[in-house]
Structures are given as structure tokens and as C-alpha cells.
Amino acid sequence: MLEVASAMILYVLGFPFLYGVLRLAVRHGMVDAARLAREEELDAPRHPMLMEGTITG
């Protein structure tokens, strides 16, 4: 009976724990993707001839 009770407790508590871990992983992945996009934007060339839609005098 103790085995069944402990298995049920682990089963019930495991789902919220797994949900939290997955949520944390997705959040970190989104932050990493945003950081990478920002870094790529900063590394882009800033030469006026390469920028589209600009008028240089």
C-alpha cells in the first residue's frame, strides 16, 4: 500500500514539475533567440550604400 501511495504522489507531483521545466526551457530558448537576433543586427554592415531606402547627400 505504501508503494502505491508513493507512486501516486510522484505521479501527481511529477506533472507540474515537468511542466515547469519545459516552460523554463522554452523561455530560455526564446531569450537566446532574441539575443542572437539582436547580435546579428548589431553585426550588420552600416555602410550607406548597403542600406536600402536611404538617401545620401
6-56 confidence digits (pLDDT tens): 999 999 999 999 999 999 999 998 998 888 888 877 766 666 566 665 555
Let me know if residue 51 belongs to a domain: no
Let me know if residue 21 belongs to a domain: yes
Q: Which three cell numbers stand for residue 41?
A: 543586427
The DSSP annotation for the chain comes to -HHHHHHHHHHHHHHHHHHHHHHHHHHHHHHHHHHHHHHHHHHS---TTTSTT----
32 lies in which domain range?
Answer: 1-41
Of residues 6, 29, 26, the one with CA closest to residue 18: 26
Let me know if residue 48 belongs to a domain: no
State the total domains in the chain. Answer: 1
Residues 28 and 22: beta-carbon distance below 8 Å: no
Let me know if residue 4 belongs to a domain: yes
Let me know if residue 24 belongs to a domain: yes
Q: What is the pTM of this model?
A: 0.53
